[in-house]
Amino acid sequence: MIDWIPPAFIMMVGAVLLPFLPKKIRSTAFVFITFCTLLVVWFIPDGFIFQAKVMNYSLTLCKVDALSRIFGIIFAFICMSGGIYAFHIKETGQQSAALIYAGGALGVTFAGDFFTLFIYWEMMAVASTYLIWARRTKTAQDAGIRYLLYHVLGGGLLFAGILMHIGKPGASIDIMTLKPDMGLSVWLMLLGVVINAAVPPLHAWLSDAYPKATVTGAVFLSAFTTKTAVYVLARVFPGWEILLILGTIMTVYGVIFAVLANDIRGILAYHIISQVGYMVAGIGIGTAMAINGAVSHAFSHILYKALLFMGAGVVLQTTGKSKLTELGGLGKKQRLTFWLYMVAAFSISGFPFFNGFISKSMTVAAAGEKQLYWVMFLMTLAAVGTFLSVGLKLPYFTWFSKEKPAELKVEKAPRNMHIGMAIVAFFCILHGIFPGMLYKLLPTPVNWSPFTMHHFIETVQILVFTFAAFWWLRFKLLKPKPYITLDLDWFYRKPAGVFQEIVVDPWDKAFNKAEELVLRAARRLVEIGKNPYMLFARGSREGTYSPDKYRPAVGKIVIAVLGLFILVLFFALTKK
């Protein structure tokens, strides 16, 4: 009988031990830790429970079923692949933060109670913020602060909802399916979760922060936060109609801003919002097929989105540039990078025989079964925009479209970056050809075949017409422009200067003045402490005590002692 331990523990212990290892073997140790975690997630038996008693509560630190396992598998796998991609990174802070981040995602996935879920939820927020700050630029620092504030807000709402929920008579801390009619507590919890899912209008943290993260950190960011939120939605909030509406809006909203974006990682960040929309909408539909579609698409999305960020990361690593207007003509220098990127581009665009084709279509079909034709239309429209921006615009203006700018210097990418990309690309194709390998991991049995003639022809038609539209408009409407498109973050970034002048600066000046007065008083007290006679001295008040300068005359001392003696004598004689 094997005694299993929660997979998150392996990641957390690894994060603590990693800094004590020699620098030469840390990257190898990172990959080994994640590989061991993947093995545990794969083989740990269904129904396994690991509990701990804390005060009056019995916390379920690990609870395994089909839904938690499939998310655990992809989280552990992408962390391992990301470790290979980032093998050349020797900064211990980034490596440990990535392990804590992935461990937090696994902790949420296997948590059996709300308190455990919340603890790991907050670990993810802190560790992921470090991966943004680790780039050590002013823009990354500012974006990281905004990112952290959003997640503090989300975590606070989630925790407030949890406390209200367990405070009800007969309530349990165990994770369960919640219903909309269960009161304010469940709506607070939902609001906390949808912030992490980047549901508009609470999404700007994602498109703001992910392009500012480190080259390798962005790969981990693309995989964990939003998909962990998708897992919680599928576990706790299935069938909520509000999620159907919000998710469908997300699919189109993210695509629109992706088409407008100029930063290559900004384009990919907006497409996280769009693709997560398919998952949120599927959970909102709530049928077995829709939940399966949402879960399978989350699995596929983690693979191809990580691969997309890996490709964009190679460009940034080798050129130092990430704007489409500053790139071009890299095709001859980066053929391997381009084709590995295109595997992910074909996947996210839903090309036949790539994994996006076998997952996204399940959610669309589930909407059709419920006769939600407006949902199907908007999802199809989003698919057009996805291929247009990620599959055509980004690669065309990055690797082709013109000769390489003379000032653009292209370095050679570390070999491990392409190895990490190749591993992920392999599974994008493998699942696209053999969808049963993924379907058998889903929470409920799957009765769906993506390889129907109707679905195949429909997909090809969409792709062909989208390509024709792009080729016609590529130098007109779709040509990149060197500006930043502000999203809803305009409402707090644009007035930030005015807000600071009105609210922050006066208090800042007041605190500075108070600090100055306190320091001046402290310095004066230090001077007096050196020689109390300075209270009666005139003239200079240098901080350095000079006994020759400040020593009082003998006569003054005699007069002071005599006066004190007279006062004592007076009180002694008059005392009754």
DSSP 534-559: GGT--S---SS--HHHHPPPHHHHHH
Handedness of CA 380, 383, 388, 389 (dihedral sign): positive
The confidence score (pLDDT) of residue 56 equals: 79
- Whether the Cβ atoms of residue 282 and residue 290 lie closer than 8 Å to each other: yes
For residue 195, CA distances in Å to 71, 160, 185, 448 come to 19, 14, 16, 32
8 A C-beta contact, residue 154 and residue 182:
no
| Whole-prediction pTM | 0.86
Residue carrying structure tokens 């009800």: 168
Angle at 117 between CA 112 and CA 120, to 5 degrees: 130
Token duo for residue 417: 């970056």
Cα gap 213→380, rounded to integer Å = 31
Cβ(450)–Cβ(357) below 8 Å: yes
Per the CB < 8 A criterion, the answer to whether 315 and 218 are in contact is no
Which stretch of DSSP H or E encloses residue 79? helix 66-85
Residue 263 has phi, psi (to 5 degrees) of -80, 130
pLDDT of residue 417: 97
The dihedral sign for the CA sequence 194, 195, 196, 198: positive
The pair phi, psi for residue 323, each rounded to 5°, is -95, 135
Q: Which residues pair with 62 in a beta bridge?
A: 50
pLDDT tens digit sequence for 136-152 = 999 999 999 999 999 99
* 523-564 pLDDT per residue, tens: 888 777 766 666 655 555 554 556 565 566 667 777 878 888
Residue with tokens 């665009």, as numbered in its chain = 349
pLDDT at 447: 84
Q: Which residue has the higher pLDDT, 481 or 347?
A: 347
CA dihedral 186, 191, 197, 202 (to 10 degrees): 170
Residues written for the chain: 576
Q: How many CB atoms lie within 10 A of CB 219?
A: 31
Q: What DSSP character marks residue 323? A: B
User: What is the reported pLDDT for 440?
Assistant: 94
Please give the residue that has the higher pLDDT: either 202 or 576: 202
Q: With the C-alpha atoms ordered 354, 356, 359, 364, is the resulting torsion angle positive or negative? A: negative
Question: CA distances (Å), 151 to each of 230, 237, 362, in order?
Answer: 16, 20, 31
476 has a pLDDT exceeding 90: no
Q: In the numeric block, which tokens belong to residue 70?
A: 């499939």
* The pLDDT value given to residue 2: 52
Asked if residues 112 and 174 have their Cβ atoms less than 8 Å apart, the reply is yes
Average per-residue pLDDT for the chain: 90
**Tens digit of each residue's pLDDT (9 = 90 or more) over 255-304:** 999 988 999 999 999 999 999 999 999 999 999 999 999 999 999 999 99
404 or 133, which is more confident? 133
Instruction: Find the range with the poorest average confidence among 121-125, 427-431, 451-455.
Output: 451-455
pLDDT in the model for residue 531? 63
State the pLDDT confidence band at 404, using cuts at 50, 70 and 90.
Answer: confident
Q: For residue 567, what pLDDT is reported? A: 83
Residue 333 near residue 409 (C-beta atoms within 8 A) = no
Q: Tell me which DSSP letter residue 263 carries.
A: B
Token pair for 214: 């480190």
Residue 113 to residue 92: CA distance in whole angstroms: 32
- Supply the DSSP symbol for 212: G
- Residues forming beta bridges with residue 53, ordered by sequence position: 58
User: Distance (Å, rounded) from C-alpha 279 to C-alpha 182?
Assistant: 24
- How far apart, in Å, are the Cα atoms of 126 and each of 20, 104, 205, 207, 213? 21, 10, 14, 18, 14
pLDDT in tens, 179-200: 999 999 999 999 999 999 999 9
pLDDT tens per residue, range 301-324: 999 999 999 999 999 999 999 999
Contact by Cβ (8 Å): 507, 499:
no
pLDDT of 76 higher than 60: yes
CA angle 161, 166, 171 (to 5 degrees): 135
CB 393 within 8 A of CB 259: yes
pLDDT computed for residue 446 by the predictor: 86
Average pLDDT over residues 470-494: 78
Query: 317 near 333, Cβ under 8 Å?
Result: no
Encoded tokens for 457: 């022809």
pLDDT above 90 as % of the chain = 72
**Cα–Cα distances in Å, from 56 out to 21, 59, 171, 206, 222?**
38, 10, 14, 38, 37
What was the pLDDT predicted at 407? 78
Q: Between these two residues, 2 and 396, which has the higher pLDDT value?
A: 396
pLDDT at residue number 1? 40
* Cα gap 295→22, rounded to integer Å: 39
| 24-37 pLDDT per residue, tens | 999 999 999 999 99
Q: Which residue(s) pair with 323 in the sheet?
A: 263
CA dihedral 323, 328, 331, 337 (to 10 degrees): 0
